Structure 1
Amino acid sequence: MKKFGYEPVVITRQWENKYGDQRDYISQSATRQVEIEKTEYGTLIKTPYKPNLSQRLLLKYGENRFVIFRKSLTLFFELAQYILPIGPKKQLYLEAKKYLSKNKVDLILATGEPFVLFMYASKLSKKYNTKWVADYRDPWSQAAWRKSNFLMARLNKYFEHKAITNAHAICTVSPYVETVIRSNIPNKTPIHIQSNGYDSEIFDQKELEPPSETMVITFAGSVYPWHPLKNVLNTLDRFIRENSSSSIEINLIGTNKESELVKYISAHCKALEQVVKHQSRMPNAELANKLLRSHLLLLFNDHALLGTKIFNYMAAKRPILLCYTNCSETNELREKNFAYDSSDFDKNSLQKELIEKTNSGIAVGNSEHLLEILKKYQAELALTGKIASKSHSIEQYSRINQITTFAKFLDTL
């Protein structure tokens, strides 16, 4: 941002890669001191993180103990944080307030989720007479888990409208999210669409290649309830059993369900036990190396959501397997478990559209189609020693291009 005349100061929380799974999101930071790091890109202020009682119980006793009590505490902290200076995220507010009291700031940019940051930005904007922009990565009050509780649904709609009322502008990732959030915000607030992208610096200048004899398939990131995970695992298991002479390796990196996956594979996918490698979350540069050393990249259909993972996959220039786009089981999972009301969006997949636009992979219809594709790629690997990618026009999604567009948007404020 500096090249465009902006001096960014990022206030975030400290992160610890202690568990390698979703528990890292709620684990105690290693220090209780604020850490300040000045870099060539700007200033990074990292506040300590102290989990609340519900989170501490989960970390100590696991997810099967004190379930009702923990859920009650979670509901309390989720709602009370918008009114009272409590909860694990309050340190972000206090540090931002401290910085604003001592430094001249032209613009506050708050990114949600967590959406309590929008409330913090709204308060700070009023107190210090500073413009602020709400950056929605996902919808707020329309999330299914918030709408499942009447009190939480009503209060989150109220808090969202209250916070956004004095926002100078809104930034979000896709027309779908714009449509959803527009239903609960003032119509006068302008919305800018800013797509996610990839960091070209960690992919460029690298000539890493996957092995020539073993087909390597990689999935990186979280698994959500609407993903046809078991179906894909069963299909991969079937492929191995029906093609016993083929050599295959499957990497599952940074999933939030590692123990569940290990149990399921052990019970239902015996052929996968020796080829699946579970790995913890890792820095982006290290993840880029893993993607580059893969032949195929597995992506689950997130329907109306585009996400960030697809852009890193595209940057690796390895064929993407989007599972699934024409599958009754996937449709049922979406209707039952999708994060947002399925009636709110066009059921076409944004990921599918992007993959087809850039020729970055294949929109896999169902399990039979996946089997067919795996056999095709295995034959190509056996014949040529590699699996070719024919992607194009992905440079427009590089982080530098996205920053250029974003800077132009900021210039209009």
Structure 2
Amino acid sequence: MRKKVLILTYYWPPAGGPGVQRWLKFVKYLPEFNIQPIVFVPENANYPIIDKTLSVEVSKDLELVKLPITEPYTFARFFSKGKTNTISRGIINENKKQSLIEKLLLFIRGNFFIPDARVGWVKPATSFLLDYIKNNNIETIITTGPPHSIHLIGLNLKQKLGLKWLADFRDPWTTIGYHKQLKLTKTSQQKHKALEKQVLTKANQIIVTSSVTKQEFQQITHKPIAVITNGYDNETSQVVTMDSKFSLAHIGSFLAKRNPEILWKALSELIKENDDFKTDFQLNLVGFVSENILESIKKYNLINYVNKVGYISHLESIKFQKKSQALLLIEIDSEDTRCIIPGKLFEYMVSNRPIIAIGPKASDVEQIIKNTNTGKFFGYHDFESLKKTILDHYKAYQQGHLKTSPIGLQKYHRKSLTHSLSNLL
């Protein structure tokens, strides 16, 4: 008989973006390890990104339990739809002067909705699940955040029922980059810290996506912490024709603080110095792109080389990963982002295209790319080596043998990662 496990998550198809894929894939493979997942989600969630293609991955046999949610973003749209959409996606205008509405929305979001804007769901979800868990003989629950208010539901259930609780952190809580932009009062900061500590000390097991986050949390709790990264899956077989151009592709949200001027400078110089490169180069931008990024690209006279694709489905993004000549992975140059491992990294690694990553030194991403031989990692001051690598890739492209020779990727397959999860359960 399969062990029942109740999974509490906010993001679920038709939600798009990286937040939904981690548990969508775990749920897909858990039955192979004699575990019956039951998924609890909001019935009418206000998802900022929709990707209906992900719905086909949900098994028809999955028990999906839903409860309505009321979200403040719905009401905030009456005042400023555009600003509300970006804030609900965690996109905060940092490089330009913020409008009065932006400042007000951020202050309200940070200080009136702790830990996040979905906190109003905690009480009704707790009440509903107390009866559901008793009636269905469930002994183990998993909560995944952000939004970290989902963990507060788990905290309530743990305190009232004493069941086994695993808390999964896809991102850190109080040290994530945008947390500092929420205009928190000292009292609000203390409340965030207190809630974070409660969750980390009351859960039976903590799961994180990076070793840096594990080290951070070990300063707060003595509870066991397991690192289970995100990963890749066997995507639908697609016949893809490689770009004829020497294309570098960035896939996913390209936010203002990730602006890699070191890259734009290197590309600008290569275009000036090499007529063939000037003819062949193309920059594929797939997903949301900040105006600050586009302005910087214009400053370096690169705008005519840009293929601005915009947001597309996950399946379509896989095509761009496979057909672009090389793939860009950019992270903010900050101590706080050393722990961030974008989910797309693992899909990049199995695309057979070399990765050009720019970010903070001594990060988890740097170590993974090095260990798997899937690309090169650069700090924000490694200009000459970055420029040389791009030129080397271009020469390999001209000769028709630009590719990677990855090693040790199997442990990042979603099924292997689910096996690690099943051992915790």
Query: Which TM-score band applies after superposition, normalised by the shorter structure?
Result: 0.7 to 0.9
Q: How big is the shift at 1:174?
A: 2.4
Match of 1:317 in 2: 352
Q: In the TM superposition, what is the alpha-carbon distance from 1:124 to its structure 2 partner?
A: 2.1
Decide which of 34, 56, 67 is 1:5's aligned counterpart: 34
Q: 1:397 aligns with which of 400, 404, 412?
A: 412
The correspondence of residues 133-144 of structure 1 with structure 2, limited to 5 A, is 133-143=166-176
Tell me the distance in 1 between the aligned counterparts of 2:260 and 2:321.
20
Q: Which residue of 2 aligns with 1:21?
A: none
Query: Paired residue for 2:95?
Result: none
The aligned counterpart of 1:339 is none
Counterparts of 1:56 and 1:409 in 2: how far apart (Å)? 45
- Indicate the SS of the match to 2:114: helix
Report the residue type matching 2:41 in the other structure: T
**Alignment partners' CA distance in 1, 2:100 and 2:65:** 35
CA distance in structure 1 between the aligned counterparts of 2:213 and 2:297, rounded to whole angstroms: 35
CA gap of 1:8–1:175, structure 2 versus 1, over 3 A, is same
Who is 1:290 aligned against? 320
Q: What is the RMSD computed on CA atoms of the aligned residues?
A: 3.4
- What SS class does the counterpart of residue 275 from structure 2 fall into? coil
**Contact persistence 1:122–1:164 (CA under 8 A):** no
1:360 and 2:392 matched: no
> Which amino acid in the other structure matches residue 229 of structure 1?
P
User: Structure 1, unaligned stretches of length 5 or more?
Assistant: 18-23, 325-333, 335-346
Which residue matches 2:226?
192
Question: 1:210, 1:381 → 2: CA distance?
Answer: 11
Provide structure 2 residue ranges, at least 5 long, that are not aligned to the other structure: 1-29, 85-97, 332-336
CA contact (8 A) 1:296 1:318 kept: yes
Select the residue among 223, 232, 240 that pairs with 1:208: 240
After superposition, residues 5-404 of structure 1 pair within 5 angstroms as 5-13=34-42, 24=48, 39-40=59-60, 42-45=62-65, 50-52=71-73, 53-54=75-76, 57-59=79-81, 64-79=99-114, 87=120, 96=129, 99-100=132-133, 102-143=135-176, 146=179, 149-185=185-221, 187=222, 189-199=223-233, 201-202=234-235, 205-211=237-243, 213-224=244-255, 227-246=258-277, 247-257=280-290, 259-266=291-298, 268-270=299-301, 272-301=302-331, 302-323=337-358, 347-364=361-378, 366-384=382-400, 386-404=401-419
**3-state SS in 1 of match to 2:220:** coil
Q: Displacement, 1:319?
A: 0.5
1:359, CA displacement in angstroms?
Answer: 0.9
Q: What do the CA deviations read for 1:354-386 (whole angstroms, capped 9, x no partner)?
A: 1121110122352322222222222222222x4
Q: What does the per-residue CA deviation read over 1:214-269, in whole Å, with 9 as the maximum and x for residues that have no partner? A: 11211112345653423322322332333333312211122352x33333333x13
Residues in 1 aligned to 2:108 and 2:351: alpha-carbon distance in whole angstroms: 42
Q: TM-score, normalised by structure 1?
A: 0.77
Instruction: Name whichever of 355-364 and 290-299 sits farther off.
Output: 355-364
Q: Does structure 2 retain, via aligned residues, the 8 Å contact 1:299–1:322? A: yes
Task: Give the partner amino acid of 1:377.
Answer: H
What secondary structure does 1:57 align onto? coil
Deviation for aligned residue 1:48: 5.6
Tell me, yes or no, if the aligned pair for 1:251 and 1:278 is still in contact at 8 Å. yes
TM-score (norm 2): 0.75
Change (3 A) 1:94 1:264: farther
Relative to structure 1, is the Cα distance of residues 163 and 298 closer, same or farther in structure 2, using a 3 angstrom cutoff?
same
Q: What whole-Å deviation, never above 9, does each CA across 1:286-307 have from its counterpart, x for those lacking one?
A: 2111101111011124534333
Give, in whole Å, the separation in 1 of the partners of 2:416 and 2:61: 16
